[in-house]
Amino acid sequence: MTVRSRLVRTAELSVVAIAVLLLAGHFLGQPVLLGFVETGSMAPTLEPEDGYVSVPSELTDVEEGDVVVFRAREIQGGGLTTHRVVGRTSEGYITKGDANAVTDQTAGEPPVPEHRIVAEVVRVDGHVVVIPGLGTAITTSRTAVAGGQRTLAALLGTGLLLGTGGLLSLIAVAAFAYLAVTEYRAEGDRDRQRSRARSRGLDPRLLVGGFTLLLLLGLWLPMALPAETDEMTIVSADFESERPTVVEGGGSQTRTQTLSNPGLVPTVVYLEPGDGVSVDDRTVVLPPRSEAEVSVTTTAPAETGAYTRYLTTHRYIAVLPPDVLVALHRAHPWLPIGTALAMVGVPFYLVGRRLVGTGRYRRRNRETSRQGGSWGLLD
């Protein structure tokens, strides 16, 4: 392979990697490696449409001065917000945009708990790594892709190409077309130099590896989605009440919460209650297409006032005993995900390699087969 070919291949892989990261961020509803701001609340650190590099919150320890991406409840109607951490209370972090005169909490946003922080912006020597114009490029690309989806859907008379599902279908078609073009070019090279033809072809390792990645992607997305956090606001009062959100100071209330697994893979659900919350069973195994109920008890502080309580739900595919998955989760939330994917992906790849063999698939030339284009396995 020439230097030019290596550079072209590196550029292609870089574009694919960035596209995959952006697509993953679209699915997860949070930035994956790359993100951008839409307003000037972080100026001059980040101007509107400036991009940044981020890392998942699970991999960092948030400290005062860090710039974080969190799920706001009140700012601009709620949603992802990129602001700086300027303090911390028992209820959560205090945040503020660099260009704002007051903190978000002074403006009405509740303190930000750990579970609502999804990423931390990368800084080098205290300075945010800025990618100017990234937001404009991403927005333009999204608009172009959405327009292309609508055009194709109108031409073909189907709505299957719209939305996220349609985007995945188009990506699959594009990937197949790319492989077909690559194989066609390789076929031309073989025709021009037959002595090298028998050493080329579609490596079964790539074929099996591609199917393995698709399988792991399907398993990874449900586990990688942000953990579900049920926020409960209660009022600690100095009297008894029949209202479920009003609890006598020092007392408690119990409610039933339903957990469901609509998928075809057994799932282990791990419940992580916050302060003032307890559950009768923190680990629940859900068979395919099943439901289970757990009792959730919320305790009100003795001091009257409004309090927010949290119950976070984590889901993992049941490839290991529940106790093992929970132990891995307590070590790090990503450990059970990586372990589960490895236990599925490695055997799948090895069995696939065993079934398809180690030769190369290539299209036979007409000189070697008069039946036209057929596929054969080169030993």
SS3 track for the chain: CCHHHHHHHHHHHHHHHHHHHHHHHHHHCCCECEEECCCCCCCCCCCCCCEEEEEEHHHCCCCCCCEEEEEECCHHHCEEEEEEEEEEECCEEEEECCCCCCCCCCCCCCCECHHHEEEEECEECCEECEECCHHHHHHHHHHHHHHHHHHHHHHHCCCCCCHHHHHHHHHHHHHHHHHHHHHHHHHHHHHHCHHHHHHCCECHHHHHHHHHHHHHHHHHHHHHCCCEEEEEEEEEECCCCCCCCEEECCCEEEEEEEEEECCCCCEEEEEEECCCEEECCCEEEECCCEEEEEEEEEECCCCCEEEEEEEEEEEEECCCCHHHHHHHHHHCCCHHHHHHHHHHHHHHHHHHHHHHCCCEEEECCCCCCCCCCCEEEEC
Q: Which of 101, 120, 134 is nearest to 63 (CA)?
A: 120
Domain finish residue from 135, 158, 188: 135
229 & 122 share domain? no
Single-letter amino acid code for the residue at 131: I
CATH code assigned at 263: 2.60.40
Q: 130 and 23 in one domain? A: yes
Query: pTM for this structure?
Result: 0.57
Last residue of a domain, one of 326, 349, 368: 326
Q: Which residues, listed in sequence order, are joined to residue 254 by a DSSP beta bridge?
A: 297
The dihedral through the CA atoms of 53, 57, 62, 68 has a sign that is positive
Instruction: Return the half-sphere exposure (C-beta side, CA atoms, 13 A cut-off) of residue 164.
Output: 8
Please check whether residue 162 lies inside any domain of the structure: no
Environment class of 51 (CB within 10 Å of its CB; exposed 0-12, middle 13-18, buried 19+)? buried
Whether 378 maps to a domain, the answer reads no
CATH of the domain at 79: 2.10.109.10
Number of domains making up the chain: 2
| CA R_g for the chain | 26
| Residue 28 identity (one-letter amino acid) | L
Q: Do residues 52 and 122 lie in contact, with contact meaning Cβ atoms separated by under 8 Å?
A: yes
Task: Residue 114: give the domain boundaries.
Answer: 3-135
Structure tokens, 357: 């063999």
pLDDT tens sequence for the chain (379 residues): 577 777 776 776 676 666 666 666 655 566 778 889 999 999 999 999 999 999 888 788 899 999 999 989 888 888 889 999 999 998 889 999 999 999 999 998 999 988 889 889 999 988 999 999 988 887 887 788 778 878 877 887 776 667 656 666 666 666 666 666 766 666 665 555 554 444 445 566 777 777 787 777 767 666 666 567 788 888 888 888 878 788 888 888 888 889 888 777 888 999 988 888 999 889 999 998 899 999 999 998 888 888 888 888 888 888 889 999 889 888 887 888 888 888 888 888 888 878 776 555 554 444 444 444 444 444 4
Domain end, chosen from 301, 326, 351, is at 326
